Structure 1
């Protein structure tokens, strides 16, 4: 990371605000990496075997961190997204598709399930879970073909459903999620180490909680389908229509989960706090709106724009020079045919709402380095962004109407491309408001 920007530089150097915002994002990502935090949650080595399993965008980095800290022998495998691997010695890393599952993910999930068969009370399973694990650890129930599960996943991603709603449905179409993987490990002890990417840090929602008791039901899954009007493939509809209580996911109090414990090793709030400290140390008056902000990206942007105007006009709820931080997971109901993830959509909606407000700069990125399914982590916004785009014939309002935020920011070279970060604590948003 470059040297921290000074408060004086923010006033006199036109490039300094953008540099600072990128530094803040880097601070958030580095805080979410597992190398320092994971070692603080390790269990005692068992009498028997130590088997490592897991899935998520951070699975490979978590596996490497575990190998560096573990005092004894271990073996196993984890699943991560394509191009998110990292060198490991004893733990095999398998790549699969995200956000829509593929055959590689299904085969890997079958191998994970097979690897925990026949364990004893003397054995230990360490499960490494991070965001993205729901798609990567994809093993539909036998009644549902993978292509039909893929179709449901695509529909959920476009529907605007919140992450807990999507994962409720995913659990109830899965042979491995919603505590089923933990049940398969019984009677071995299961210690889950998780990087949270969900609002509220609920372990049963992170990667659809494969080793955590599931409080949701088939009725809840059916309600989500009805709420968003999702058209189901025939196999999925038949399965949900005919599912019985005997097919339910393991619930709290299930004896097969009695030897399970879960530790969240890092969270969205930890990254926001680290960024806030970085900003305060250089003299910015900083406010954290929260790490659980959800809703349509463009609606969340309107609320943030209202707060920005209050700061600009009245120095409330924080005095200029100010930094406004927030996290969580917004959603996008796709109506157009453009490109762009939820962070780009948030930032473009913010740009339209602020309409070139002087002294206001912003960044919005996904901490995993991938905004939706694009190649960028997110984007940067300056007071002149709309005007710069207009000069090359690009209309911010038209791009927003078409869900085409990626193309807008690409036209002014304001995409942030980091490549895979190998962690994931969800969205990071920072808005800088300078005196004029």
Structure 2
């Protein structure tokens, strides 16, 4: 049995895959310890996993201003690193150093900037992870930069021609953000590393891409030690069963349209719920709105009997019974929707979401409406196209067959076990 420390930071979309991984490792006889911000401690304990405090402590539920900055359509990623993660780097380093004492292996998240530093100091084997294809900035796999969503209208052949240039520009910008990380390394007597946000975050032992293989890759410029695992799904803390109220609603009529803003964009809904209810009225369809606790009383007062407004529900139980799912395109939500064989309407806000949405549309399972254009009439038009054109449902069913065969947790655990049993011989750095 190995003691394995897993560290991450972010919204539930950045936490749930690692809870799933922790449970998978525990089932194999290992001792996983999740090093995360303290506000996740109750969720981790509820899952029956060990907890160690990580940093930063910023609680998105208590700091809506931080959420707004981190979900800014153009400057969201910069805010995450420059205003949240880098100022807490010293504390994160201290807490993770304490957490890994006695560990046999560490699993890291792209936002855990202290992790490669601690690994270099402690000389521990480690496995890094990424949650979306955008993290690789591949010249063979064009990205859609969040600050230039209009590029989605450019022909794909042009994207391919300039993919290296776009990715290179992104790397140059990010390198400026990461200079304080290089300075922190120097203060500890460590040499400069490759860009901490890109090459520098990847472990030489193994890199796990925690998303479905339907998105493509690995490509020639990915790290040689990459494994694309498939999604790691975890529904809690919303439980693994639908509420009696929701079950009754689903049985009472046609499959509903499901609307959700995930665990972070829900803090900046604007008129999303009002426009969603308007779209349902225009379509004459039933809907389920997952609005979160804060908005529940207000939105429930606006809804007709054709819309059920609830705090939350387990996506893996609800989505397969939907006609379509409307969501911001976080990888966790879209992955569950892909496995559920339903068409999707993407409403991407920031960071990797525009790129994820662009990939879904290229796969033929989704259409996209950006938040500033989210109006009832337009949403109704896009949903009508998703529902009336058989190709979206057919493509969703074909991709679901692939996604459902993937064993994300099992594949990730296999890689970790191999690193443990091989004596952790790292792959050569390019």
| Structure number with bigger Rg | 1
Fold match, TM over 0.5?
A: no
TM-score when normalising by structure 2 = 0.34
Structure showing the higher helix proportion among its residues: 2
